[in-house]
RNA sequence: GCGGGCGUAGCUCAAUGGUAGAGUAUCAGCCUUCCAAGCUGAAUGUUGUGGGUUCGAGUCCCAUCGCCCGCUCCA
């Protein structure tokens, strides 16, 4: 859908011009689906990732019971044992065979492409038998039958029975018979391609020999590294359920068609939490993370109605998933909301899969609960359990079990793009000559702003540059600051507006104690959004800024 | 992958098939006491890339790459 193309073009131009985002390998003509962050962009994205780490790992909010949340970090390798992706389902689920119709240009997933024939021979026999393909359809088996009900009834009547039709997917059609299958869209025969595999995983080779035994994959998500290390974390960090493991890292997907600026990139960065809890508490934790994560975006400035929290419908849920909420943003390139983050209730699907495929015991044992159970028995004077009885009881819930997982999985690049879109603001104001000018400014939350403050001598004389530079160097000990002494003051303010710098500190005659100074020793601090200025003594300006910025 | 559009200086755009230019931004200097276009000077291009037609191609033709829009796809 079109969205606001003009807005998007202006934002993309600003990002390029000011050094937020560049196309990857641009001097070689670029490469579709890959992007680089420039000097301002890297600060913005790092601030977003740091805010996430600070707010989710270092100092997360209290949980629903009011207790401190246990959260530890992790940084896993991008390439893992290929068996990981078999266990997770990505090896099969990520690879879809597609069929194209060369006549009408339609494309179909071969496993959703239903071919209906009069006889089973059509699928397995010679070309002659294939003449009995009567029609085809796209979607679930029942949908296809429903959509073609009249045809089905007519055939049933002619054949004198009910279950006369053979329905299989295109994958079951013999290569020699494919030419006789009609296209679900245009119904023409003989224009369908062979099923071609669209594998969304990036393949690589471990070691210098590129043979099949060396095949490996770049991870399509960071989550599996967490599951694979779940036991290690449990054994080394003294965490107890409920607890979370968090990770920020790159992931790779061979998107069929990267589009919409950095939104659908082939290399991207995720910020993921796997939160492990008891199954009976899981919906409570799901609700907690769902709102906590939504509020996190709001608190950092994504507060317009463009941000929304949407619960997935039953039909959208993966088969193992009990609930999932998407945090979505209405980007200017689309008139539909797009996903920034998914908060999924994954049950114990992932740990079950990895336990089965790896053979490792990933069960959690409730030591405290077990000790309590034994103590209570003793207190009641009940006879001591035998070794066999103990292992029987201790081996099952509630003492030994696979925890349930809540997964808030956020896209760092998508969040960065959303914050960029939300920040972009234009307004009209008169310039020094009274002509109306468009002012463009990036309204970043101070925590996210690439540059927190700029230090500007009003004129380059009388010691103003020297004092401005001293303040600038003091400020840099605490936060990212900028010094600029070139050009008219208005022009310098404007440059900082485009970079999204929340505060500009100007050193003027009053600061250096000029004879007619009304407020000796003070600088002016200009607010990016309101354009209002306050005077603060130059000895207090760093503290003033630190308090405002929160560093 | 298909269809349509676009590629000239960092950016915005000029240039009948005949010497590639302007504005802006950048840099150096001057001038400047608060909201981008004050003065002087400097630097800036294999016209996306590769072929072809032509005495001569930014311009015409072909191919290719990239971007934008639509379709398709999106575990």
Residue A268 has pLDDT above 60, yes or no: yes
For residue A127, the model assigns a pLDDT of 52
- Quick one: average pLDDT of A340-360? 93
Helix or strand (DSSP H, E) at A289: helix A282-299
Closest CA to B12 C1' — which residue?
Answer: A13
Q: What is the DSSP string of A114-140?
A: EEEESSTHHHHS-TTGGGGEEEEEESS
Nucleotide nearest to A220 (CA to C1'): B75
Q: What is the pLDDT of residues A218-260, one digit of tens each?
A: 999 999 999 999 999 999 999 999 999 999 999 998 877 787 8
Q: Check if residue A506 sits with its Cβ under 7 angstroms from strand B.
A: yes
Q: Check if residue A16 sits with its Cβ under 7 angstroms from strand B.
A: yes
Three-point CA angle A529, A532, A538, nearest 5°: 110
For residue A105, the model assigns a pLDDT of 64
- Quick one: average pLDDT of A468-495? 91
Protein CA at A29 to nucleotide C1' at B54, angstroms: 30
Bigger pLDDT: A121 or A68?
A68
Residue A111 has pLDDT above 80, yes or no: no
For residue A313, the model assigns a pLDDT of 84
Average pLDDT along chain A: 86
Nucleotide nearest to A90 (CA to C1'): B75
Q: What is the longest distance spanned by two Cα atoms in chain A?
A: 109
Extended beta strands in A139-207, E state? 166-169, 196-199, 202-205
For residue A126, the model assigns a pLDDT of 57
Q: Check if residue A3 sits with its Cβ under 7 angstroms from strand B.
A: yes
Total-model pTM:
0.85
Nucleotide nearest to A511 (CA to C1'): B33
Q: Check if residue A423 sits with its Cβ under 7 angstroms from strand B.
A: no
CA distance A532 to A71: 41
Protein CA at A5 to nucleotide C1' at B5, angstroms: 14
Question: Cβ–Cβ contacts within 10 Å for residue A519, how many?
Answer: 13
Nucleotide nearest to A492 (CA to C1'): B36
Closest CA to B69 C1' — which residue?
Answer: A2
Residue A37 has pLDDT above 80, yes or no: yes
Protein CA at A421 to nucleotide C1' at B53, angstroms: 48
Protein CA at A498 to nucleotide C1' at B33, angstroms: 24
Question: Which residues have CB under 8 Å from A350's CB, separation 6+?
Answer: A88, A223, A224, A227, A274, A405
Tokens at A440, concatenated: 């463009």
Which A residues between 336 and 395 have a beta carbon under 7 A from any strand B atom?
A: none
A204: left (phi over 0), alpha (psi -120 to 50) or beta: beta
- A59 — phi, psi (to 5°)? -140, 70
CA distance A501 to A482: 9
Chain B bases under 7 Å from protein CB?
Answer: 1-2, 7, 10-12, 26-28, 31-38, 48, 65-75
Q: Check if residue A38 sits with its Cβ under 7 angstroms from strand B.
A: no
Q: Check if residue A107 sits with its Cβ under 7 angstroms from strand B.
A: yes
Which A residues between 118 and 157 have a beta carbon under 7 A from any strand B atom?
A: none
Which A residues between 510 and 539 have a beta carbon under 7 A from any strand B atom?
A: 514, 523-524, 526, 531, 533
Q: What is the pLDDT of residues A376-427, one digit of tens each?
A: 999 999 988 899 999 999 998 899 999 999 999 999 999 999 999 999 998 8
CA distance A133 to A122: 7
Which A residues between 209 and 238 have a beta carbon under 7 A from any strand B atom?
A: 220-221
Contact between A114 and A182 (Cβ < 8 Å): no
Protein CA at A448 to nucleotide C1' at B21, angstroms: 42
SS3 of chain A: helix, strand, coil, percent, to 5: 35, 25, 40
Q: Check if residue A2 sits with its Cβ under 7 angstroms from strand B.
A: yes
For residue A1, the model assigns a pLDDT of 42
ipTM: 0.81
Residues above pLDDT 90, as percent of chain A: 50
Contact between A424 and A442 (Cβ < 8 Å): yes
Q: Check if residue A299 sits with its Cβ under 7 angstroms from strand B.
A: no
Residue A162 has pLDDT above 70, yes or no: no
Contact between A238 and A275 (Cβ < 8 Å): no
* A276 DSSP 8-state letter: E
Q: Check if residue A251 sits with its Cβ under 7 angstroms from strand B.
A: no
For residue A128, the model assigns a pLDDT of 56
Peptide bond into A29 cis (omega under 30): no
């Amino acid at each position: 859908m079109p969205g606001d193309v003009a807005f998007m073009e202006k934002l993309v131009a600003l990002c390029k011009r000011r050094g937020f985002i560049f196309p990857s390998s641009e001097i070689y003509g670029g490469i579709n689906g890959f992007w680089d962050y420039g000097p301002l962009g890297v600060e913005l994205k790092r601030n977003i990732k740091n805010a996430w780490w600070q707010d989710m790992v270092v100092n997360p909010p209290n949980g629903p019971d009011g207790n401190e949340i246990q959260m530890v970090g992790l940084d896993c390798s991008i390439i893992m044992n290929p068996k990981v992706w078999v266990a997770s389902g990505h090896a099969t689920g990520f690879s879809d065979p597609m069929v194209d119709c060369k006549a009408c240009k339609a494309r179909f997933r071969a496993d959703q492409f239903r071919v209906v024939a009069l006889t089973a021979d059509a699928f397995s026999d010679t070309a002659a038998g294939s003449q009995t393909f009567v029609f085809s359809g796209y979607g679930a088996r029942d949908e296809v039958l429903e959509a073609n009900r009249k045809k089905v009834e007519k055939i049933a009547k002619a054949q004198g029975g009910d279950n006369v039709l053979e329905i299989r997917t295109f994958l079951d059609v013999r290569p020699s018979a494919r030419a006789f299958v009609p296209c679900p869209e245009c119904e023409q025969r003989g224009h369908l391609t062979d099923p071609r595999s669209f594998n969304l995983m990036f393949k690589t080779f471990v070691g210098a020999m590129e043979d099949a035994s060396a095949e490996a994959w770049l991870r399509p998500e960071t989550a599996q590294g967490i599951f694979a290390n779940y036991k290690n974390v449990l054994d080394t960090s003294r965490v107890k359920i409920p607890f979370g493991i968090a990770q920020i890292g790159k992931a790779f997907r061979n998107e069929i068609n990267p589009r919409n600026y950095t939104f659908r990139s082939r290399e991207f960065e995720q910020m993921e939490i796997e939160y492990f809890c008891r199954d009976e508490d899981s919906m409570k934790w799901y609700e907690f993370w769902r709102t906590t994560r939504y509020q996190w975006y709001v608190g950092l400035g994504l507060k317009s109605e463009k941000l929304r929290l949407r619960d997935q419908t039953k039909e959208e849920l993966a088969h193992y998933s009990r609930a999932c909420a998407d945090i979505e943003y209405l980007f200017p390139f689309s008139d539909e909301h797009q996903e920034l983050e998914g908060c999924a209730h994954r049950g114990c699907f992932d740990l079950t899969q990895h336990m089965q495929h790896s053979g490792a015991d990933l069960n959690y044992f409730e030591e405290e609960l077990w000790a309590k159970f034994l103590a209570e028995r003793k207190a009641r004077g009940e006879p001591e359990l035998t070794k066999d009885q103990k292992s029987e009881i201790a081996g099952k819930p509630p003492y030994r079990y696979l925890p349930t997982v809540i997964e808030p999985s956020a896209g760092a690049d998508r969040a960065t793009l959303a914050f960029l879109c939300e920040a972009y603001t234009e307004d009209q104001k008169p310039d020094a000559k009274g002509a109306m000018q468009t002012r463009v400014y990036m309204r970043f939350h101070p925590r996210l702003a690439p540059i927190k403050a700029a230090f500007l001598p009003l004129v380059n004389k009388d010691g103003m540059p020297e004092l401005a530079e001293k303040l600038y160097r003091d400020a840099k000990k605490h936060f990212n600051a900028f010094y600029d002494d070139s050009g008219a003051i208005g022009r310098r303010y404007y440059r900082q507006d485009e970079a999204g710098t929340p505060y500009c500190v100007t050193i003027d005659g009053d600061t250096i104690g000029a004879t007619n100074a009304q407020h000796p020793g003070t600088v002016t601090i200009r607010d990016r959004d309101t354009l209002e200025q306050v005077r603060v003594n130059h000895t207090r300006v760093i503290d003033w800024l630190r308090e405002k910025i929160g560093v």
